[in-house]
Amino acid sequence: MADRIYRCHNSFLLRFICVSFICGAIPLNAEDGSEGWLRYAPLSPVPVSYARMPVSIVQLDSSKVSASAESEIIRGIRSMVGRTLRVETNVPDRDAWVLGTTEELRGAMPGYRAPKLGHEGFSVSALQVRGHHYWLIAGADPRGMLYGAFHVLSGIARGESIRAMEDSESPAAPVRWVNQWDNLNGTIERGYAGRSIFFENGSVRSDLTRAGEYARLLASVGINGCTINNVNADPRMLTMIRGVSRIADAFRPWGVRLSMSVASNSPQVVGGLDTFDPGNEKVAAWWKARVDEIYAAIPDFAGLVVKADSEGQPGPSQYGRTPVDAANMLATALKPHGGVVLYRGFVYNHHLDWNDLKADRARAAYDIFHPLDGQFADNVIVQIKNGPIDFQVREPVSPLFAGLQKTNTAVELQVTQEYMGQQRHVVFLPVQWKTYLDFDLRAENRSTPLKDIVDGKSFRRPLGGYVGVANVGLDTNWMAHPLAMANLYGFARLAWNPDTTAETIASDWTRLTFGNDEKLVSTVTRVLLSSWPIYEHYTGPLGLQTLTNITGPHFGPAPQSQENNGWGQWIRADHDGVGMDRTVATGTGFIGQYPPEVAAMYTSLETCPDNLLLFMHHEPYTYRLHTGKTLIQTIYDLHYQGADEAAGIVRQWKTLAGRIDPERYEKTLGLLEYQAGHAIVWRDAVDRWFAKMSGIADDQGRIDHDPNRITAAEMQLDGYTPVDVTPWETATDGKAYICKDRAACTATAHLNRPAGLYDIAVEYFDYRQAASTFQLSLNQKAIGTWTADNTLPGQAPNGDTSTRYTLRGVALRPGDVLTIEGHPDGNEPAPIDYVEITPEAGGVVGNPHP
């Protein structure tokens, strides 16, 4: 057995066979992730209690949404339990599933006592009548019934007992929407999973199959609205109502209402008016006519989303008007149809003066919207990003939520991982979102957690809720990274019930996505739950924000890019210290926007949490945190810790070989390996930058002193020449080595390692639009080849493109010669940085050399 386990460690195939053999598991079918969490995988074994499941089904309601509920139950039970239900037209005199609204069930089922449900709520219960068992799925309305059906199916998929599925639930808030930032040309702003499922070449796609499938996925977790186009809206959107109505048709069976983003200047650009001033009657009349036209084509249209006066978008300020003027004008047009306006609070000046120590982007939303509280129409919702900056790895909750007590509000969360590794890193965001939703803003010195504010409880608002920027694309598995779908699922679960724990979300999603194998569930759950803190450790801890390239693609490390520009994501690092002073006494005054108890907590260094310290305060590098460690050493250590933890995720994932189908296992493994390598790029870049800025050495002497590394400059080069890298901190000594005007170049190292097994990593740069090839040779014998064909967001050597190729378990002995041979392709000159040769844990053995 020991021998078999050893070999299992060395080959995926053998490991797969091995685990199947040891566990008695059935072979796993290929899966591509297209079903998301709705796989309806056959249960093996089927729980004994399911033997009592009725084999008949009756639907009492006649709406389209109800038809979906019925067909979904039939589909799911057939697939998971292997039973085909008989469809009845009336409640039969035998055991049956009975679906209907609570009203309908009351009429049809003697003895049925309808529970009290909120709008779109559901109840699942059992009822015995004349010796027959009826399993009732009731909704406050058809949408609620559909949610109840999916609740039952999720329970079955997770192998829950029948009893556990009995439940009554109502959603926390009426607005549970996703926003898609899709452009009419088919691209998606900050989308990382392929092109738009809605648009191509300026029109609505002819094939909307994926739009319908998306709506089904959304409905299965209670999402009831989808905004289909970019908030940086193209005015031509309003000329495409007929095409858009086809998308609404695809959504309708799933109870997902369509909404659109609109550009404020549409009356001028597509309406031919000479103004878009919201105070102008002609403009208001134009919008009213457009809204009437929309409702004629899409009677269940949900409403409009508006980004204005922000990042170059036109807006009411051009005419000296306010967001109230713009929002209320649209609200008036929508009101007769029951539509709403989601007016975004993300309004700020991106030409701030860096030299002005009082200037602060974080202040903007509150400064602009707080004075308008109480003036918005009752069908306006101000849609506010969770934090005052922009979906950073950690921010405080936006103080605007406490500043709008007479206005409806919704929290905007970002499911697409713009600042969070862009679906090349695993970052399970519900853990982060919980920190925002549970945060108590203490408005009026009472308990007002963010979740209660947007649910309307804290300030007794009738409307509000949750908006998630999802940006799924045409990629087969919707979100590129197999683990990223957990974020869409998690967003929806929190929008339905913000008290759901991150652990429940992670383990439910894992069961639905990969199956109920307990080891698998506990491992994936652990990976997910640890992933956001890990990402924070190797990117921007202590409230520094993500420290990514903010003037570029927002992906790799580039700490200096935060500073010295108008964008206001500053960290104000100098030679003595770092952090934005946002106190009232000496800083920008941002902290004063919070209710008094929270403001006091952030103001005092005693009570300000370390993880937001530098968002709130500017402190010297020698400042000691609550841990007793200096600020600068904490930055260094957390980055080393984060990179180690990212490598640990790979190890944990590898224990799952054979427990997940090979396609998803391998795809995820490849991404996790990439992430572990990129975490090292992050670590080195950020630590180097701070070491130079502070002039204080790491007390463990690690930065740029890795004994396992041989830099390109230290190798014998044939054809490779150095070029400067921008930003400098993303390569050793600020240089990459490129192969220019040659078909091939080499970099050679003469090794003198004790005989043993080693992991050999080559750090190279992989541009988006070319595919250089590399060969690694030992004593002139090829031991590895690879192609730099990852579509990373960059065309130059830097932190976005720096990538690691790792060969594990290579046997070395003193005197070996290692050669990297690079073959350029197009504009990509096969750039390299260094090679790192690390002894394999326990790998030094007798005579490993072949």
- According to DSSP H, which parts of 221-303 are helical? 241-251, 266-269, 281-297
Rounded Cα gap, residues 335 and 462, in angstroms:
15
We find the least distance from the C-beta atom of residue 68 to ligand GCV, in angstroms, to be 32
Q: Does 232 bind ligand GCV (CB under 6 A)?
A: yes
Catalytic-residue membership of 88: no
Catalytic-residue membership of 390: yes
Q: Which stretch binds ligand GCV (CB under 6 A): 112-120, 230-238, 681-689, 842-850?
A: 230-238
- Residue 397, CB half-sphere, CA atoms under 13 Å: how many? 29
Q: Which stretch binds ligand GCV (CB under 6 A): 158-166, 228-236, 238-246, 640-648?
A: 228-236
121-160 binders of ligand GCV (CB under 6 A)? none
We find the least distance from the C-beta atom of residue 441 to ligand GCV, in angstroms, to be 22
Rounded Cα gap, residues 737 and 730, in angstroms:
13
Residue type, 784: G
Question: From the CB of residue 104, how many other CB atoms can be counted at a distance below 10 Å?
Answer: 21
We find the least distance from the C-beta atom of residue 15 to ligand GCV, in angstroms, to be 41
Instruction: Tell me phi and psi for residue 560, to 5 degrees.
Output: -65, -25
Rounded Cα gap, residues 223 and 171, in angstroms:
10
We find the least distance from the C-beta atom of residue 742 to ligand GCV, in angstroms, to be 39
Binder of ligand GCV out of 257, 307, 618, 735 (CB under 6 A): 307
Q: Which is nearer to ligand GCV, 413 or 480 (CB)?
A: 413
Residue with tokens 């400067």: 724
**Cβ-proximal residues to 806 (8 Å cutoff; 6+ apart), any chain:** 673, 677, 759, 760, 761, 762
We find the least distance from the C-beta atom of residue 720 to ligand GCV, in angstroms, to be 36
C-alpha triplet 158, 672, 397: angle, nearest 5°:
75
Q: Which is nearer to ligand GCV, 295 or 570 (CB)?
A: 570
We find the least distance from the C-beta atom of residue 771 to ligand GCV, in angstroms, to be 28
* Neighbouring-strand partners of residue 465: 175, 410
How far, rounded to the nearest angstrom, does the alpha carbon of residue 497 sit from its chain's CA centroid?
18
- Residue 196, CB half-sphere, CA atoms under 13 Å: how many? 25
Q: Which is nearer to ligand GCV, 346 or 459 (CB)?
A: 346
Q: Which is nearer to ligand GCV, 85 or 413 (CB)?
A: 413
Asked if 809 and 840 count as a contact pair (C-beta separation under 8 A), the reply is: yes
Size of interface with ligand GCV, in residues (CB under 6 A): 11
Q: Which is nearer to ligand GCV, 98 or 327 (CB)?
A: 327
Q: Which is nearer to ligand GCV, 562 or 694 (CB)?
A: 562
- Residue 199, CB half-sphere, CA atoms under 13 Å: how many? 23
In the chain, the N- to C-terminal Cα span, in Å, equals 26
Rounded Cα gap, residues 548 and 535, in angstroms:
12
From the list 31, 104, 418, 766, the catalytic residue is: 418
Asked if 358 and 364 count as a contact pair (C-beta separation under 8 A), the reply is: no
Compose the 403-432 pattern: x for residues touching ligand GCV by CB under 6 A, - for all others.
---------------x--------------
We find the least distance from the C-beta atom of residue 414 to ligand GCV, in angstroms, to be 8
Return the SS3 of 236: helix
How far, rounded to the nearest angstrom, does the alpha carbon of residue 523 sit from its chain's CA centroid?
20
The pair of structure tokens assigned to 436 is 């925002």
From the list 390, 619, 637, 800, the catalytic residue is: 390
Q: Which long-range contacts (CB under 8 A, 24 or more apart) does 433-438 make?
A: 433/386, 433/490, 433/491, 433/494, 434/494, 434/498, 434/501, 434/502, 436/386, 436/387, 436/397, 436/411, 437/411, 437/494, 437/498, 438/498
Q: Which is nearer to ligand GCV, 230 or 477 (CB)?
A: 230
Q: Does 361 bind ligand GCV (CB under 6 A)?
A: no
Q: Which is nearer to ligand GCV, 166 or 311 (CB)?
A: 311
We find the least distance from the C-beta atom of residue 190 to ligand GCV, in angstroms, to be 5
Q: Which is nearer to ligand GCV, 552 or 722 (CB)?
A: 552
The pair of structure tokens assigned to 654 is 């590898």
Residue with tokens 């193209």: 234
Pairing of strands 720-724, 735-739: antiparallel
We find the least distance from the C-beta atom of residue 550 to ligand GCV, in angstroms, to be 9
How far, rounded to the nearest angstrom, does the alpha carbon of residue 800 sit from its chain's CA centroid?
19
Q: Does 390 bind ligand GCV (CB under 6 A)?
A: yes
We find the least distance from the C-beta atom of residue 177 to ligand GCV, in angstroms, to be 15
Q: Which is nearer to ligand GCV, 592 or 799 (CB)?
A: 799
* Neighbouring-strand partners of residue 719: 746
Q: Does 53 bind ligand GCV (CB under 6 A)?
A: no
We find the least distance from the C-beta atom of residue 391 to ligand GCV, in angstroms, to be 7
Instruction: Tell me phi and psi for residue 469, to 5 degrees.
Output: -80, 105
Q: Which is nearer to ligand GCV, 224 or 229 (CB)?
A: 229
Asked if 689 and 704 count as a contact pair (C-beta separation under 8 A), the reply is: no
From the list 166, 189, 300, 311, the catalytic residue is: 311
Binder of ligand GCV out of 152, 156, 193, 231 (CB under 6 A): 231
Q: Which is nearer to ligand GCV, 326 or 712 (CB)?
A: 326
We find the least distance from the C-beta atom of residue 232 to ligand GCV, in angstroms, to be 5
Residue type, 768: R
167-226 binders of ligand GCV (CB under 6 A)? 181, 189-190
We find the least distance from the C-beta atom of residue 633 to ligand GCV, in angstroms, to be 32
Q: Which is nearer to ligand GCV, 208 or 231 (CB)?
A: 231
How far, rounded to the nearest angstrom, does the alpha carbon of residue 429 sit from its chain's CA centroid?
6
Rounded Cα gap, residues 345 and 380, in angstroms:
12
**Cβ-proximal residues to 146 (8 Å cutoff; 6+ apart), any chain:** 65, 66, 68, 69, 72, 139, 219, 254, 255
Instruction: Tell me phi and psi for residue 733, to 5 degrees.
Output: 55, 25
C-alpha triplet 232, 236, 238: angle, nearest 5°:
100
Exposure class string for 110-140: b at 16+ Cβ within 10 A, else e: eebebbebeebbbbbbebeeeeeebbbbbbb
Catalytic-residue membership of 311: yes
In 190-279, which ranges are E strands? Answer: 199-200, 203-204, 225-227, 257-262
Return the SS3 of 272: coil
Residue type, 72: E
Compose the 311-350 pattern: x for residues touching ligand GCV by CB under 6 A, - for all others.
x----------------------------------x----
Would you tell me which residues interact with ligand GCV (CB under 6 A)? Answer: 181, 189-190, 230-232, 307, 311, 346, 390, 418
Annotated catalytic residues are 311, 390, 418
